[in-house]
Structures are given as C-alpha cells and as structure tokens.
Structure 1
Amino acid sequence: MKSYQITEWSHELFQLQVNPNGLYIDATMGNGYDTLFLCELAGESGKVLAFDVQEKAIMCTTKLLKEHNVENRAKLYLDSHENMDEYAEAGSVDGIYFNFGYLPGGDHNLATKADTSVKAIEKGLELLKKGGVMALCIYSGGDTGFEEKNRILEYLKKLNSRKYVVIVNSYYNRENNPPIPAFIVKKG
C-alpha cells in the first residue's frame, strides 16, 4: 500500500507528465532521493543536474547514486538552486523538482528561503521546455515557518495562465500545516 507522503505523491504525478530519458533538475538535492528518482527517469540516455548548498547533501547523494549504479547519470553541484540557469540552456529541461525546507537530518538553520526559492522557480520556468513540468513540495510550520510557503504560493498565483498551468494540491483532512504539492506545466 502506498503511504501518500508528499514526495511519493509528487513523484507519481511528475512521472506522468515528463518525457522519459530527458534532462531533469533536482533543485534541492538533500539526501538524494529525488535525484535518484530523476536518474531512474533519465535512463541511460538522459541526464540530471542536482543542486544543494551543503557538502553533506553532495556526500549523501553521491553514496546513494553509487549504491544504485546511476552516478554517471547525474552531475552534482555545490551551489544554490537560484543559480541553476548557469548550468542549463533556456528551453532545454524536461522537468524540475523542488523539495523545499531543510536537509533531513541536517542543520535546520540551513533551510531554503523565500527570496532564493522564488528566484529559483522563476529561473527554472525559463529553463523548462514547452510541455515541461516543475514539481514543488512546499512545507510550512515548525522550523520552516510560513514565509516561504506564502511567497511561493503568491508567486504561483500570479503566473500567466496563457503560459503556465498551475495546480496546487492539499492534504485537505490533515492537521498541523501539512505539506503542499504543487505542479507547473509550461504550455506548448
């Protein structure tokens, strides 16, 4: 039985929208599970670019990818997601995956921030191909607060509906500020 955690749910919907064997970006590498997921989608002919500002994330992800024999499918960057446009051409990316917040098991003071996250989403939209998809796992409450969630949702609401389809899901019957899975499709 599926657990329907935000990442599982987002993975399911993401893979329904993207072309396999493409170019994908993991904008928030963390412990590498989303990078691994994207490497599996990339197959032998695709590629994954993954970003994080913490060396621990690079180490954990490298180990995980080697364990699954897919390390050759990904390039890991010790850099902020807001700089992803320095590593890929506009209109070249099939899918981008964000998992906002902090590195699980890491320093909670080193979490994604509203300003850089919104900039990263904006740059990511330029990188997406027409028909490309962006998945966003948005957390709030506790350590992460509400500023980032509110700023991201405000930004998404203002996206031009002629250029983008924005779908925001909710765990409607969960208490205590459940995470929000959101998706953006760049219209073809």
Structure 2
Amino acid sequence: MKLKGILPFSKQLIDLSAAAGDIVVDATCGNGNDTLYLAEKVSENGHVYAFDIQDAAIQNAKEKTKDYSNITFIQDGHEHVSNYVTDTISCAIFNLGYLPKGDKSITTLPATTVEAINALFKLLKPGGMIILVIYPGHAEGQIEKEEVLKFLYEFDQELAHIIQYGFINQKNNPPFICAIEKR
C-alpha cells in the first residue's frame, strides 16, 4: 500500500461519499479543481453548489468547468450555505486558507468556517462527509487550524466520526485533512 498525498486523499474521500445524482457543495471553489472533480463525480443528474467570496475565484472555477451545466456558482461566504442549499447533500469540501496565486490577505476565517460546517452538517445525509483541507503554513491558517480542531475535538461522537490525516514529518506546517462522516 502507498500512502496518498493530501489532495489525492481528499478525492478518495469524495469518491467514498458522493455518487452520480447526488447534491454536493464546494465550500471554497478557489481555482475550480474540486468543483470540476465534484461535477464529474455527480454527473449531469447531480448538482454542485460552488461558493467563494472572490470574483476571481468564481471566474477561475467557471473557466475550468465551462463544459458542465450541473454547477451553481455563488459569490458569497460559505457560512451562508443554508440561504442557497436546502436539499440533502452527500459531500462538502473546503480548502481553507487563501486563493492559490491570489491575494494572500483574503483568507478563510475560523468563525465563518465553523458556522459553515454546522450549516452543512445539518444538510448532510447519514454516511455523508464534510472534508476539510487545512493549510496551517501561514499565520491566519495557523489560527484557523487551532479553532477548527478545537471545534472538531468537541464534536459529539454520537453524531459523527471525525478523522485527521496528514504527514507529521514534513517541514513548514504541512496541510492536512479532517473529515467528518455523519452517523
């Protein structure tokens, strides 16, 4: 067996929780990599809701997914997900931090991330999963990591299984994954 890198492992988790026809959420669409993967996974019978606060991110993701009609792009904070999504979802993914190759002063925030996790968990079907790719390699990311982990450690174990996956011998505070599987 070969250990998967962080991003391939996040896709493996998507594969475990999302299927054709499902409704899913990309809570931080960024440059559109996860949005594209989700759109392919749920097929034309499923739907992807893709959130980002930055117009540049929405435009990048739209360009990457231009061949797909099963995506709704929403330029708003992920903490407002319940204003747009009311259906049961099978999967949601976050890539926390800042937009790669974008303005590094615009980052996800611990309070809104936790608020979004709570809102998405209410929409999540049993066996569904919320995937968090956490990037603590910058000051804001370190703060967000601490707050999100505190929240996850206190999450009721009767409601969800939560894992943490990452490489502990890498330098510079490497990214890692936390995944919440609803019971």
TM-score, normalised to structure 2's length?
Answer: 0.94
Conserved? CA contact 1:156–1:166, under 8 Å: yes
Q: How many angstroms apart in 2 are the aligned matches of 1:20 and 1:115?
A: 32
User: Aligned ranges for residues 101-116 of structure 1 at < 5 Å?
Assistant: 101-116=97-112
Q: Which residue of 1 aligns with 2:54?
A: 54
Q: Any stretches of 5+ residues in structure 2 without a counterpart?
A: none
Q: Which residue of 1 aligns with 2:182?
A: 186
Q: How many angstroms apart in 2 are the aligned matches of 1:136 and 1:145?
A: 13
Q: Any stretches of 5+ residues in structure 1 without a counterpart?
A: none
Q: How many angstroms apart in 2 are the aligned matches of 1:145 and 1:133?
A: 22
Cα deviation code 1:84-117 (max 9, x no counterpart): 0111126x01100110000011100111011111
Offset of residue 33 of structure 1: 0.5
Is 1:87 paired with 2:84? yes
Is 1:137 paired with 2:146? no
Q: How many angstroms apart in 2 are the aligned matches of 1:50 and 1:175?
A: 31
SS in 1 for 2:74: strand
SS in 1 for 2:30: coil
Q: How many angstroms apart in 1 are the aligned matches of 2:178 and 2:80?
A: 21
Conserved? CA contact 1:30–1:61, under 8 Å: yes
Q: How many angstroms apart in 2 are the aligned matches of 1:40 and 1:186?
A: 23
Q: Which residue of 1 aligns with 2:36?
A: 36
Amino acid at match of 2:26: D
TM-score, normalised to structure 1's length?
Answer: 0.91
Structure 1 stretches of 4+ moved >6 Å: none
SS in 2 for 1:121: helix
Offset of residue 18 of structure 1: 2.8
Cα deviation code 1:103-158 (max 9, x no counterpart): 01110011101111111111111111111111100011325341100000111111
Conserved? CA contact 2:18–2:42, under 8 Å: no
SS in 2 for 1:166: strand
Residue of 70, 75, 79 corresponding to 1:78: 75
Cα gap change, 1:57/1:163 in structure 2, threshold over 3 Å: closer, same or farther? same
Q: Which residue of 2 aligns with 1:121?
A: 117
Cα deviation code 1:9-32 (max 9, x no counterpart): 211122123333200000001001
Amino acid at match of 1:50: A
Cα gap change, 1:29/1:3 in structure 2, threshold over 3 Å: closer, same or farther? farther
Q: How many angstroms apart in 1 are the aligned matches of 2:137 and 2:146?
A: 11
SS in 2 for 1:169: strand
SS in 1 for 2:90: strand
Q: Greater CA deviation, 16-25 or 39-48?
A: 16-25
Q: How many angstroms apart in 1 are the aligned matches of 2:48 and 2:27?
A: 10
Q: How many angstroms apart in 2 are the aligned matches of 1:7 and 1:20?
A: 21
The count of corresponding residues between Structure 1 and Structure 2 is: 182
SS in 1 for 2:166: coil
Offset of residue 58 of structure 1: 1.1
Is 1:149 paired with 2:145? yes
